[in-house]
Amino acid sequence: DAGVTQSPTHLIKTRGQQVTLRCSPKSGHDTVSWYQQALGQGPQFIFQYYEEEERQRGNFPDRFSGHQFPNYSSELNVNALLLGDSALYLCASSLEVGSYEQYFGPGTRLTVT
Amino acid sequence: DAKTTQPPSMDCAEGRAANLPCNHSTISGNEYVYWYRQIHSQGPQYIIHGLKNNETNEMASLIITEDRKSSTLILPHATLRDTAVYYCIVPNAGGTSYGKLTFGQGTILTVHP
């Protein structure tokens, strides 16, 4: 049973560029959430997708956007990258929307230079 | 979300029980307590959750006090692989944070040989 997978593992971008991160949820899960984890901090909720719609959003600017596909996989897009966007981006999936029992992927380490 | 307070760090000898406390004095009657852990360079891992009765699974036991203002996560026989940051989370049931996990600083548990 495949767990949550994310790609790429690491990514280096330049300030002002755009980036797309990808996530495949755990088998049988239809809800995907994204979190940002800065160095030394706990993860912060970005948004949650269910039925291809954004259902919940944290305190992140519109530069952060997402998408969910019919197969439940998801993308996180960040535009106009800032140095402060450097972080570990985590994807989590759950069996149902609103569930707090979430299963996390290994994350994508984004470095903005 | 109900505020939680955890000690910043704890030590434990390998093979001994690790008891991680969490205070959540503002918890509401229908709010659950969730525990996650994050091993270095990995995504968070769901451990266990409970409402008011003690809970046990293959990973840990969760003891919630009768007044529900505090809880303890117990790892019965800690191993070196249990060294991680442990997060106690009390999400806002049915409120605006539906499905959103709010991570604090957690407790850094170090298991020594």
With an 8 Å Cβ cutoff, is A94 touching chain B?
Answer: yes
With an 8 Å Cβ cutoff, is A44 touching chain B?
Answer: yes
Judge whether residue B93 has pLDDT over 60: no
SS3 assignment, position B9: strand
With an 8 Å Cβ cutoff, is B62 touching chain A?
Answer: no
Of residues A103 and B94, more confidently modeled:
A103
Chain A CB contacts of B85 under 8 Å are 42
What are the CA-CA distances from residue B70 to residues B5, B10, B87, B90 (Å)? 9, 17, 14, 11
Q: Is A98 exposed, middle or buried (0-12, 13-18, 19+ CB in 10 A)?
A: middle
Chain A CB contacts of B42 under 8 Å are 106-107
Interface test with A, best of B38, B62, B100, B108 (most A CBs within 10 A): B100
Task: Give the pLDDT confidence score for residue B110 in this predicted structure.
Answer: 98
Quote the mean pLDDT of chain B: 93
**Section A60-76 average pLDDT:** 97
With an 8 Å Cβ cutoff, is B104 touching chain A?
Answer: yes
Grade residue B1 by pLDDT with cuts at 50, 70 and 90.
Answer: low
